Amino acid sequence: MSFLKEISPLVKKHFLSENDVLSRRAAQITAEIQQGERRNYNEVLDLSSGDLHRGGIKPITFVRQVLAACLYPALLEDDSLPLDVKQRTENLLRECNGGSVGSYTESSGIAKIKHCVSQFITRRDGGVLSSPDNIFIQSGSLMSLMIMLKLLIRSEDLCRTGVLIPVPTYATFTLALEEQGAAIIPYHLCEEQGWTLQVEELHRALQEARKICNPVALYICNPGNPTGHLQSRKSIEEVIRFAAEERLCLLADEVYQSCVYGDDTEFYSYKKVLSEMDSNISSTVELASFNSASKGFMGECGLRGGYMELVNLDPAVMKYTHTLFSIAPCPPVVGQIALDLMADPPKPGDASFPTFSEEVQSIKNMIRKNTGRIQEVFAELPGISCHPLKAGLFVFPCLHFPPKAIKWAKKRQMEPDMLYCLHLLEETGLHVRPGCEYGQRKDSHHIRLFVGTQENIMEEALQRLKTFHMRFMKEFS
């Protein structure tokens, strides 16, 4: 009997995802080019993932200097290292058992780093206090989110536990919910109004879901992935009131909070807005918020460092949270250090500040230029519409396919945007991801493009997309 037939349906589904098909084919094409196969392009351009360093963006110097010295303390004798790098390294190593990043730490993270993260949150929210006791560090924000799901989801109940999630949303979170046995309750963001979250849609989704499951939580991604939207303060207040009325725990994924660059836009954390509402709401609505060293301008995806902050959880639940973290392996120490550096970067007057601020500003300028150029190109193309990017690292344009193209995809038993992405990859070497991977309204189609790459790479990618799209639309019009 084939081993594959014995694998769970969930794992099979994961193996056969759209992204796996595209990623495998992209790797095959790269290998074929390296082996001398001639194509009308020299390399695959990968705009499929949210990885800044993969996109050619250099790591922040201060971050890598501290990490290098923590891993190899002999570098502290090197006169080329700035004084603040040496001081931060010495302070961090003092918090490590045996003075080594190779030692175990507390399961929820190094106490000093949790304190640093809580101070960062307090500053971010204009003085709203954060306690280190409510901070839990894990190997990425998704791991913290999965632990939170373990607390919420009761797999032994006859009525399944439900979690409301936005459509579109990123596929790994949906998979995590399925893995925990949750009932997924989709609510649609309003694309026509810039991917806004509308409370009326939340009510609709909740009423439908209560017929088949027990909804306990509402998941929010703000700033949005893949949509690039940013919630207004008014919208956040409306969502919090909805959660209070319906007794739902809020799960606020805020990993792109430092990536905000739209005109007249500002990030408001769910915690800050909650703290400023009426006391009957601010003291009762349960909130878990998440952040990471991967998704901001540091872009340290491979170091695996993320945190969760809990607000208003019952003391008995907090006890179980500590228990769950205590039985989990401690998070990678280099990831914890990355969080510390994200939460407390160089300040004016520090030796590393001029270089640090210049590097961060350069990344912000690059993203602004890329998104501006993307809007210019899309405006020229028939059959594409896209809302201006306000935050995050992705654009999610809508593709308006001719009926002939829809029939072509249906005949091949494939989603139209998936088939579009597959042919885009084959013909031009541009690797992007299809909207069907994230969920979308019936008969709508999208692609997701990563904007955090060098400007020359983005320009080449846009020219490839433009050439392919014009040919595609002409063929199927």
Q: Is residue 259 part of a domain?
A: yes
Q: What angle do CA 340, 149, 292 make, to 5 degrees?
A: 20
Amino acid 194: pLDDT: 94
Pick from 318, 343, 368: which residue ends a domain? 343
CATH of the domain at 334: 3.40.640.10
Mapped onto helix, strand or coil, the DSSP state of residue 196 is: strand
Name the amino acid, one letter, at 286. Answer: E
Residues 380 and 283 in one domain: no
Residues 77 and 221 in one domain: no
* Interatomic CA distance for residues 427 and 39, integer angstroms: 9
Pick from 40, 68, 99: which residue ends a domain? 99
Amino acid 156: pLDDT: 64
Contacts of 302 (CB under 8 A, 6+ apart): 53
Residues 153 and 282 in one domain: yes
Q: Is residue 312 part of a domain?
A: yes
- The enclosing H or E element of 465 equals helix 455-476
Question: What is the pTM for the complete model shown?
Answer: 0.93
Residues 164 and 259 in one domain: yes
Residues 52 and 68 in one domain: no
* Interatomic CA distance for residues 437 and 447, integer angstroms: 9
Number of domains, the chain: 3
Q: Is residue 348 part of a domain?
A: no
Mapped onto helix, strand or coil, the DSSP state of residue 385 is: strand
| Percent helix / strand / coil, the chain, rounded to 5 | 50, 15, 35
* Interatomic CA distance for residues 109 and 280, integer angstroms: 32
Pick from 291, 314, 343: which residue ends a domain? 343
Residues 52 and 190 in one domain: no
Amino acid 6: pLDDT: 46
Q: Is 443 exposed, middle or buried (0-12, 13-18, 19+ CB in 10 A)?
A: exposed
Residues 231 and 137 in one domain: yes
Residues 52 and 74 in one domain: no
> Domain span at residue 67?
58-99
Can you point out the beta strands (E) in 160-300? 161-167, 183-188, 214-221, 249-253, 287-292
* Interatomic CA distance for residues 171 and 191, integer angstroms: 19
Q: Is residue 350 part of a domain?
A: no
With beta carbons less than 8 A apart as the criterion, state whether 167 and 188 touch.
Answer: yes
CATH of the domain at 411: 3.90.1150.10
Q: Is residue 349 part of a domain?
A: no
* Interatomic CA distance for residues 232 and 270, integer angstroms: 11
Distances (CA, A) of 137 to 62, 173, 219, 345, 395: 22, 18, 19, 18, 29
- Characterise 7 by phi-psi region: left (phi > 0), alpha (psi -120 to 50), beta (else): beta
Amino acid 308: pLDDT: 95
Q: Is residue 351 part of a domain?
A: no
Q: Is residue 458 part of a domain?
A: yes
* Interatomic CA distance for residues 25 and 418, integer angstroms: 13
Residues 86 and 208 in one domain: no
Pairing label, strands 135-138, 306-311: antiparallel
Residues 133 and 268 in one domain: yes
Residues 110 and 36 in one domain: no
With beta carbons less than 8 A apart as the criterion, state whether 333 and 37 touch.
Answer: no
Contacts of 135 (CB under 8 A, 6+ apart): 108, 109, 114, 117, 118, 307, 308, 309
* Interatomic CA distance for residues 212 and 94, integer angstroms: 53
Name the amino acid, one letter, at 175. Answer: L
DSSP label at residue 421: H
Amino acid 62: pLDDT: 98
- The enclosing H or E element of 317 equals helix 315-327
Residues 163 and 302 in one domain: yes
CATH of the domain at 76: 1.10.287.1970
Closest CA to 461 of 50, 39, 47: 47
Q: Is residue 298 part of a domain?
A: yes
* Interatomic CA distance for residues 364 and 57, integer angstroms: 11
The per-residue pLDDT string of the chain (477 residues; one tens digit each, 9 = 90 and over) reads 344 444 444 444 444 455 689 999 999 999 999 999 999 999 999 999 999 999 899 999 999 999 999 999 999 999 999 999 999 999 999 999 999 999 999 999 999 999 999 999 999 999 999 999 999 999 988 888 888 888 888 766 678 999 999 999 988 888 888 888 899 999 999 999 999 999 999 999 999 999 999 999 999 999 999 999 999 999 999 999 999 999 999 999 999 999 998 778 899 999 999 999 999 999 999 999 999 999 888 999 999 999 999 999 999 889 888 888 888 789 999 999 999 999 999 999 999 999 999 999 999 999 999 999 999 999 999 999 999 888 999 999 999 999 999 999 999 999 999 999 999 999 999 999 999 999 999 999 999 999 999 999 999 999 999 999 999 999 998
**How many angstroms from the chain centroid is the CA of residue 184?**
19
